[in-house]
Structure 1
Amino acid sequence: MENSEESMPEKPYSSLMNDEETPVSAEEVIIYPAKYKKPDQANNIWMRSLVSLALYLALGIYIFKRWEILLLITAIVMIHELGHFFAMKYFRYKDLGIFFIPLLGAYVSGTKREVSQKQSAVILLAGPLPGIIIGVAFYLIDQHSAGYYLLNIPYSRIGLLFILLNLINLFPVYPLDGGQLLNRVFLDEESIISKIFIFLSIGFMCWFAIQMPFYPLLIFPAMMLLRMVGEKKINNIEKRIEAEGINTDLEYEDLPDKDYWRIRNILIEEHNSFKDVSPAPPFEYDEKEERIMTTIQHLLHRHLIQDLSITGKIFIFLIWAAGIASPWLINMDMSFFKQFGF
């Protein structure tokens, strides 16, 4: 990562309350340099997305052998993630990017401080629902006019894969879309019930990965556990920041420069990843400054707006249930999956 090219003073600026050239005393006023701002990296984000896609395809052709199947699965994953992407873009998320994970799929990253339940529901459903609708269309076309192929794959098989891969994402298991929907809309993310739900999801994913067996899936529960450990550390840091009287209920752009450097010093003291960073003063950017900035952004309070009524939640549930039930609603032949033990 490139560091900001803005030159930083080795020592803080100071001004005196009087005109005499005397040693600086308690009357000194420290002028804090500007907080770190990440250079525009839109091109870098998309370059990383392309690199991840290339790795995904390279490993995929080794596993699937047939390029037609690989292209189909990649298209299904891409359509799914583009649904999330455009929904997040509509709701003005920042730093958006799509990243592919070989063997496991892909994800969309983005940041926003204030998120509503309605927005979350739309974003989470915007991934699997379009794919299910496309799958249903392919399957019904095949049923009424058999014999159509695309990439040497029958329409019925294409419809089946579209529905299955998106249907799995609707399962109420965290961090799948259905699990995030349950946690965000129907549970309080900060409640003990939410924590129990996440632990149950971790246990289920471990069991499923071993039962299949498909051990790469164990990456997800491992990441979830690491995230929970990290959140506990962050909670301790938040308490320290609150004790210092620093306001974190604001956007990063509105964070005073003084508070940036104060929070930065607290991070250096409390966060193991930044133990080797020199505290201020002197006010100098470190090679880890972008990571420090990102951590500070995460420390600023995120607001989840509870804007879904009971009627709204019932409506969201019915949409989710229709997606889950779609294979049975169109009487889809699921015998293809018996070879996989389903």
Structure 2
Amino acid sequence: MENYSPDNPLIPGEISATTEANIIPPKPSAEEPKSKVNILMRSISSLALYLVIGYYIFHSFEMLLLITAIVVFHEMGHFIAMKAFRYKDLGIFFIPLLGAYVSGSKREVSQKESAIILLAGPLPGIVLGAVFFIWQLKDQGISLAGIRLENISLLLMFLNIINLIPVYPLDGGQLLNRVFFNEESWLSKGFVILSAAFLIWVALFASEQKLYVLLLFPAMMLLRMFGDSRLNAIEKKVESTGINLDTSYEELPDEDYWKIRNIVIAEHPSFKDVPPTPPYEYHYKEDKIMTTIQGLLHRHLIQDVSVAGKIFIFIIWATAFASPWLLNVDMSRYLRLFGF
């Protein structure tokens, strides 16, 4: 970050004549929107790593490509829904052995949008799996790309139904947390902790085959909760000074930026070596400080789902989750793969 602001191109540690007079300089310019090429390259790189490690595990290109196709189909549902709701910096990123996720940003998010986005991943896969299952009942010898249609249908339903389990951070858990809980409440935090405990139990004790890779989820969840609790403490200190955090970074006054900055560097251990202001000078950690301040600014979650809407969403979730039993599908072979 060479020039932290085009209007005030100070380098880290440099003090201008204006700052010597304690005139408040402009806040650093927010990061430009991420390059689409950069996002695409990251997506391709993560996919390549996903395929390499996946082949090492499965030793079968057919199975690997089938699972990858199902994961991509699932994530494209999220991607298209987020695109429709005008999320920015969208990208699909793959996590070896765990799956993939769609990344994007938006300041104002409604519960309705969240429900649609979260269900747009698993529902199409479950519906397609059900269609394939009914199709293969009429012609049990049919196959696609050398794989029996029955196996494709079962795997489509199995992988997507797993995502509907009401455990955070799966789609079902996020749906429960976003639509039915208040994310700022202790109930929500307790739900995340219980989800982490459940994942630890599944990884270590639920089956004969130890699923140690699942421990990454609770580790990341607990680290995020710890980071969020630290930010919440800083947020309370900032709000106690009368600064309005219910704004975007672009609308944040320069004076408020520098006031918040002083609180952040005083409270956050990563910035203990950053001197407070005045005098006003940019630090080589300014980009990280700016990112932390951006994280303190409130994201709007619009509570726009009524009780009737929540019941409707629950019915959709329950129907999708119960679809194998409604269709009398035998999922036992896939459960046995995990030792259940």
The answer to whether TM tops 0.5 is yes
Q: Which residue pairs with 1:185 in the alignment? A: 179
Question: Which of the residues 95, 105, 110 maps onto 1:111?
Answer: 105
Name 2:224's counterpart in structure 1.
227
Report the aligned-residue RMSD: 2.1
Deviation readout 1:132-173 (Å, 9 max, x if unpaired): 111112211111122121232100100111110110010011
Q: Offset of 1:177 from its aligned partner?
A: 0.7
Q: Does 1:330 align with 2:327?
A: yes
Map of 1:39 onto structure 2: 32
1:11 correspondence with 2:15:
yes
In the alignment, what sits opposite 2:266?
Answer: 269
Distance in structure 2 (CA, Å) of the matches to 1:65 and 1:132: 26
Q: Paired residue for 1:284, among 252, 257, 282?
A: 282
The DSSP-based 3-state class of the residue aligned with 1:35 is coil
Percent identity over the alignment?
60
The answer on whether the counterparts of 2:22 and 2:280 sit within 8 Å (CA) in structure 1 is no
Give ranges in structure 2 of 5+ residues lacking alignment. none
Give how far 1:12 is off: 4.6
* 5+ residue gaps, structure 1: 16-23
Tell me how far 1:79 sits from its aligned partner: 1.2
The yes-or-no answer on 1:256 pairing with 2:249 is no
Q: Is the 1:49–1:99 Cα contact (8 Å) retained in structure 2? A: yes
Q: Secondary structure at the match of 1:239?
A: helix
1:125 alignment counterpart: 119
Q: How far did 1:273 drift?
A: 2.1
1:118-142 Cα offsets, whole Å, 9 max, x none, are 1111111011111111111221111
Q: CA deviation at 1:264?
A: 2.3
Q: Could you say what secondary structure the match of 2:141 adopts?
A: coil
Superposition deviation, residue 107 in structure 1: 1.0
CA contact (8 A) 1:124 1:180 kept: yes
Would you say how many aligned residue pairs link Structure 1 and Structure 2?
330
1:30-86 alpha-carbon deviations (Å, 9 max, x no partner):
141242321342222222121111111110111111111111111111111111112
Instruction: Answer with 1 or 2: which has the greater Rg.
Output: 1
Counterpart secondary structure, 1:76 = helix
The CA deviation at 1:334 is 2.2
C-alpha distance in structure 2 between counterparts of 1:187 and 1:198, whole Å? 11
Please give the TM-score of this superposition, normalised by the length of structure 1: 0.90
* TM-score using structure 2 length: 0.90
